[in-house]
Amino acid sequence: MKNACLKFHCIDQPGIVSAISNFLFERNINIITLEQHAEEGVYFNRIEWKDLNNWEDEAAFKKDFERICKKFDGHIEVHFFKNIQTLGLFTSREPHTLLEILAKIETGELPNVKIPFIISNYDDDTISKRHNIPFFFIPTKNNPNYEKKQIEIIQKFKPNFVGLARYMKILSADFINQSGCPIINIHHSFLPSFVGANPYELAYQRGVKLIGATSHFVIPALDQGPIIEQDITRVRSGYSVSKMKQIGSDTEKRVFANAIKKVLEHKTIIYKGRTIVFE
């Protein structure tokens, strides 16, 4: 028996928790977790419960819940975890974040998740072959139609989400708008202080004391999307550039995996350009 979850937000007002709790109680639903908070006059919550097959699918739940949405003028997202979720992955030369996601799926830390494809602008299908995942090499250099080919693959497989596992190419606004699903990115947090091809060398020269990574939803404005997850690792005196790169890779894969996990567990709500994240 799998769980199900409900995310709901509306203008903060009396009676919201009571109405939702009674709705579930009347259908013999036992709540497992309930997280809630209010900020700037808006109420947010996430409720998870054991799915007793009360509803055929998410659409049936939304129809049943419609009365409460109308009463509070609320916004709802619901997900039944018995359904397999698909995550398309884009990557380039560096494999650390890609391997971290695949390892967590293989060990069951990301259950009921399937990778329908890996797209790369670097011609190496070693990892995809090992995991029996369809691989598509689409070069981006001197290839003006590469995004069109990528979109064709996305439209064929229709993933629930796309993850950019250190995919080293800027996405156009047209690509983002045509993708049809949320896109999650990861990058080091030297930006915007150390931009260009050699950020670690520049950071080393300036004596950086913290190395960070940021994972966020992708929007047309470069690296300005709602942030999902961030973390840092301290740099000690005497660390070489190669040591800093290793620390950066470890931080990136940890942050990216945590962000993907929260998205797949439906623990995020995008509101006014920022991400509300439930634990």
Q: Domain locations in the chain?
A: 3-80, 85-277
Among 20, 46, 17, 47, smallest CA distance to 31 is for: 47
For residue 141, is pLDDT > 80? yes
CATH homologous superfamily for the domain 3-80: ACT domain (3.30.70.260)
> What does the pLDDT average to over 70-97?
96
Question: Residue 196: its pLDDT value, please?
Answer: 75
In this model, does residue 223 exceed pLDDT 90? no
Percent of the chain residues past pLDDT 70, beyond the cut: 99
- Label residue 121 by pLDDT band (50, 70, 90): very high
- In the predicted model, what is the mean pLDDT of the chain? 95
Average pLDDT over residues 152-175: 97
Choose the CATH number for 85-277 among 3.40.50.170, 3.40.1190.10, 1.10.10.10, 3.40.1180.10: 3.40.50.170
**Does the pLDDT of residue 195 top 80, yes or no?**
no
* CA dihedral angle for residue 100, residue 89, residue 48, residue 76, rounded to 10 degrees: 150
Give the predicted TM-score (pTM) of the model: 0.94
Task: Dig out the tokens for 172 from the structure.
Answer: 């156009």
Is 223 catalytic? The answer is: yes
Catalytic residue among 12, 223, 231, 250: 223
Interval 181-190 mean pLDDT: 92
- Whether pLDDT at 190 is above 80: no
CA 147 to chain centre: 21
Q: How many CB atoms lie within 10 A of CB 164?
A: 23
Give percent of the chain with pLDDT exceeding 90. 91
